[in-house]
Chain A
């Protein structure tokens, strides 16, 4: 069964803290997408990865294919990072459609 699990569901951090959000999935994938959803609802793509690690500014995404697990890290967190972070995966057995996790709601307190 194709499943995507994220943890934690909710996360509150102090400004400046290092944050980790986790995503695990049930079967083999061809790609994993990290997305950011703002309170207004808009969705922004952060990373698309299928192996290794990617970095953009204070954001780092890693994926371990063998363990079926990905992490999104935010260094030196800031209140403007407050948003819902969503993991979405494209399973090997389901063509091009993405399956979405339920999201991690992050609040960074000044």
Chain B
């Protein structure tokens, strides 16, 4: 069964460093999403991406964040200058017309900013 994959599973970085989180969505999906979950808190929407551009973004998704689909398979989230409060689990998800809007989630990347 196709699934969304994410790498790395855990990333540790120093405050101020740039990080890139990678996702490979399900191959025939056209809509891509990033969410984050700070430890002990609820999942929060960051951004959605369709047709090679951002379709929606939340207030959290400020200038420090960017997304890219560099090739036909990967979908990346970049944080330019990490802060302590960026420590969270980051989930990628994808969906398609045929999935009826159901989003399929990746296993997440745990980001720890020291």
**Across the interface, do A42 and B102 meet the contact criterion of CB distance under 8 Å?**
no
Give the A-B pair count, Cβ closer than 8 A.
52
**Subset of 22 A-B contacts with CB under 8 Å:** A33-B102, A33-B103, A35-B105, A41-B37, A41-B108, A41-B110, A42-B105, A43-B43, A44-B105, A45-B103, A45-B105, A48-B101, A48-B102, A86-B43, A88-B43, A90-B101, A96-B56, A97-B45, A97-B56, A100-B44, A100-B45, A101-B42
Beta-carbon nearest neighbor of B37 in chain A: A41
| Cα separation A95 to B31 with both chains bound (whole Å) | 13
Q: Which residues of A contact B (CB under 8 A)?
A: 31, 33, 35, 40-45, 48, 86, 88, 90, 95-103
- Size of interface on B: residues with Cβ below 8 Å to A: 23
Beta-carbon nearest neighbor of A30 in chain B: B101
Q: A48-B101, A97-B58, A103-B42 are in contact. List 5 more A-B contacts (CB 8 A).
A: A42-B105, A88-B43, A98-B103, A99-B45, A101-B42
| Cα separation A102 to B56 with both chains bound (whole Å) | 22
Q: Which residues of B contact A (CB under 8 A)?
A: 31, 33, 37, 41-45, 48, 55-56, 58, 89, 91, 100-105, 107-108, 110
**Across the interface, do B89 and A97 meet the contact criterion of CB distance under 8 Å?**
no
**Across the interface, do B101 and A31 meet the contact criterion of CB distance under 8 Å?**
yes
**Across the interface, do B105 and A48 meet the contact criterion of CB distance under 8 Å?**
no
| Cα separation A39 to B54 with both chains bound (whole Å) | 31
**Across the interface, do B102 and A98 meet the contact criterion of CB distance under 8 Å?**
no
